[in-house]
Amino acid sequence: MKIYFLFVFLLIGLVCCKDYKNPYKEGKYAFEKHCGTCHGNNGEGLGSLITNLNDLEFINKNRNQLPCMLIKGIHNDSSSVFKTRHGDQEMPKNELLTTSDVVNILNYLNYNLWKMETFDFRTIDSQMNRCSGNQK
């Protein structure tokens, strides 16, 4: 009987808490919903087709552009602000993302992959306001 209870608790532990390490649960959910189909649920990418999200140098350099990049996407034509750099595959725009989505997604990725300074709501919000024009 004791063994049985131990087993049940172990099972509950495994099911409910396996992701307890990353505190950005909403970010995980939003990333899996909006980005994971392409970039993989851990940002590992899709072979040579879609880049992983591990290029720390690029991320660091473009930290302030990331919110607009997620909203506007990355395109092939020369008029777009964010141009592809891994080949022809484009990243579609996603103008439905809210500031909270973007903050949560970036902090989720940051916690797992980038380990930089945390992204804060105010900064992201003002960066997003500045990219809301019609630029592509």
Q: Which residue has the tokens 């019609």?
A: 134
| Closest to ligand HEC by CB, 89 or 112 | 89
Minimum CB distance to ligand HEC smaller for 23 or for 87: 87
- Which pair of tokens denotes residue 27? 């970010």
User: Nearer to ligand HEC by C-beta: 9 or 132?
Assistant: 132
Closest approach of ligand HEC to the CB of residue 130, in Å: 18
Concatenate the DSSP letters of all residues of 8-34 into one string.
HHHHHHHHHHTTTT-S-HHHHHHHHHH
Q: How far is the CB of 118 from ligand HEC (least distance, A)?
A: 16
Report the distance separating Cα 41 and Cα 35, nearest Å. Answer: 8
CB of 41 to ligand HEC, least distance (A): 12
What is the closest distance, in whole angstroms, from the C-beta atom of residue 97 to ligand HEC in the complex?
6
Residue 125 to residue 85: CA distance in whole angstroms: 26
Instruction: Note the residues at the interface with ligand HEC (CB under 6 A).
Output: 34-35, 37-39, 50-51, 53, 55, 58, 66, 70, 74, 84-87, 89, 91-92, 94, 105
CB hemisphere CA count around 17 (13 angstroms): 5
